[in-house]
Chains A and B, each alone.
Chain A
Amino acid sequence: MSGEPILRFEEVSKIYPLPAGDLVALDRVSLTVDPGEFIAVMGPSGSGKSTLLNLMGCLDVPTRGEIFLSGQEISGMSDDDLTRLRRDRIGFVFQQFNLIPLLSAVENVEFPLLLTTGREESRRRAIEVLTAVGIAETHFAHKPAELSGGQQQRVAIARALVNDPDLLLCDEPTGNLDSKTGSAIMEILAAENREGKTVVMVTHDPGVAAYARRTIRIVDGRVA
């Protein structure tokens, strides 16, 4: 499977039926993402970037066309199968961090792993990843509200990486951070990519996109 792309879109359309008429969010998009790539997806607001990322992350299914994740077609999969794919093979990093407020930093990171792995192993791995993204041990027990934005995003990245996913999907990962903190976050993502992780990132910011080795531009739901 080494020559196979991680992601392959074939004529993928996503159409939202609205009372005022159908909204075509993605229009017959075909693309591939190869293992080890670092891709920036850019485009104006409402161009379909987030829809593309949701489809890549198996959070949504296409209206038409086919999506292959490592050669496996996902359109016909059940909700539970898609959920297991997300759990085992995809990591998400969001603009809003989206940590679970009830859980401490280390609990947030071990959470996805606890769904499949034992408590001790999960905790060990969570600490390892948290340390790797630069969170000090003194912050492990802190709740998200007690952490700075940059620290929260580091925790979120650790959570995305804890399952050792094939694909790391980031939706404006620096959108809520100042430029210095944003750069630090981008350094972490770039380092992960250098170690072989495939990263796809949606961004507005050309400076952030510069970290990527390839840029996909989306305009009006099409790859420009």
Chain B
Amino acid sequence: MFFSFATRNLRRHWIRSTLSIIGIVIGVVAIASLGVMGNSINLLAANIITDVGDTVVVTPHTAIGGTFAGDPRTVVDATIPAREVEEIRRAANPHRTIPVLQGADKVEFGRGESGYAQIIGLEPGDIPVLLNLAEGQHLRQNQAGALVGIHLAREYGIAPGSRIAIGGEDVRVAGVLAERGMGFDINPDYAIVVSDGWYESHFGAKDSYPMVIVRVGDVEQIDAVKDAIEIRINRREDLVDVSDSREMLGQYEEIYDQITAFLLGIGGIALVVAAVNILNVMYISVTERIREIGVMRSIGVLRGEILRMFLYEAMILGVIGSVVGGILSTAFGYLISVAAIEVATTGTTFGENFTVFDQSAVGFIIFGMAFGIGTSIAAGFYPAWRASNLAPVDAMRQK
């Protein structure tokens, strides 16, 4: 009976009720679709970042430590000398130590097209350990040639057998590398990989490496390898920084979790605003019906029943708003995510086969709806409590 009373009363003030419902809808849509979007960004990041998992990266020690790969504080033009590389190799033994040469030069792709690209120099024997080929062949020892990153190759129509010029020096393309995604060590998708011998003769660089990668076969041994390197190289002073991909991936995840939390927070604010609106509407409703409440109390309606009647009203507003909001946010969340993914993955294949609605996206929508219903009831509680605690005599005296 009190439930039908609540619905009748909401219908009596249908404009007010509709506006309150719209408020809840906006709040739920905000919280759920921003949650879905945050989640999509997270999923996409997980897709893009290559989780090698078993890689230790050694870089020259910087004055200020970084928190993530590409942190501007750690981008310094410094190198690790060859004798330190040998120390690292000994410390990391028997795991494979891969010194990396990195630089940039002007590359001519033919047909008059050219531009600067990153050049990565690796020992030919190390290349298959780090990188996979999309087509063509790996570099052979003592043979001039280059492997081209997949996005660079696509952009300029390069295939195995094509010829390019690096810094004016003609090179034959032996293979095209498979898409690797963003790594914590090297990012060859937009780069050209050459042998260390060719690199050194071309750039005149010798014995200085911006980065050393240690491939640790067993994830369990990563910490031991890191410690061994630290002890051996950084004994007297800090010469190198040692980090592993798991750690950096964790930092990334933390950043993305913060983004998601931030987006949820914005959605939460929208919902709190909606809740304040419900509180206001319910409060007005109680004030308007104070005399009616007094009459009901005088003819035998219990306090608890009055409380329930008003809570039903808040709950009905919350449920309708949340269900509509849930449906809309499924649509909005999907659209926002698709748009965000398209922007983030233009020209790559990471967006392919990507599902927006995984378990946690659905979780965000359910969370948004539950939060909507919960805040509505919470907002209705004070007015309902106030109504139920009115003394019937005082309430009936109100005009």
Name A's B-contacting residues (CB within 8 A). Answer: 54, 57, 59-60, 79-80, 83-84, 86-88, 92, 94, 98-102, 111-112, 114-115, 159, 163
Contact = CB atoms under 8 A, between A and B. Distances in A.
Given A98-B291, A98-B396, A114 B1 contact: yes
Contact of B292 (A54, A88, A100, A114): A100
B67 interface: no
A98 B392 CA distance: 12
A112 B302 contact: no
User: Most A CB atoms within 10 A — which of B5, B291, B300, B304?
Assistant: B300
Contacts of A80: 302-304
Given A98-B396, A114-B1, 9 more contacts: A59-B392, A80-B303, A83-B300, A83-B302, A83-B303, A87-B299, A87-B300, A87-B301, A115-B1
Contacts of A112: 299-300
Contacts of A79: 303
A98 B8 contact: no
B295 A88 contact: no
Instruction: Give the dominant DSSP class at B's interface.
Output: helix
Nearest to A110: B1
B296 interface: yes
A59 B298 contact: yes
B10 to A, nearest CB: 11
Contacts of A99: 295
A86 B299 contact: yes
B300 A159 contact: no
Nearest to A122: B1
Interface in B205-257: none
A31 to B, nearest CB: 20
A115 B392 contact: no
Interface string B255-290: 000000000000000000000000000000000000
A87 B302 CA distance: 9
B8 A100 contact: no
A102 B303 contact: no
B297 A83 contact: yes
Contact of A102 (B8, B298, B305, B392): B8
Contacts of B392: 59
21 contacts: A54-B393, A59-B392, A60-B391, A80-B302, A83-B302, A83-B303, A84-B300, A86-B300, A87-B299, A94-B295, A94-B396, A98-B396, A99-B295, A100-B295, A102-B5, A102-B12, A114-B1, A115-B1, A115-B300, A115-B301, A115-B305
B9 interface: yes
A176 to B, nearest CB: 14
B12 A100 contact: no
A112 B301 CA distance: 8
B299 A92 contact: yes
A100 B301 CA distance: 13
A94 B391 CA distance: 17
Contacts of B396: 94, 98
Contacts of A98: 291, 295, 396
Nearest to A54: B393
A60 B294 CA distance: 12
Contacts of B5: 102
Nearest 3 interchain pairs by C-beta? A87-B300, A98-B295, A112-B299
B300 A57 contact: no
Most buried by B among A84, A112, A115, A159: A115
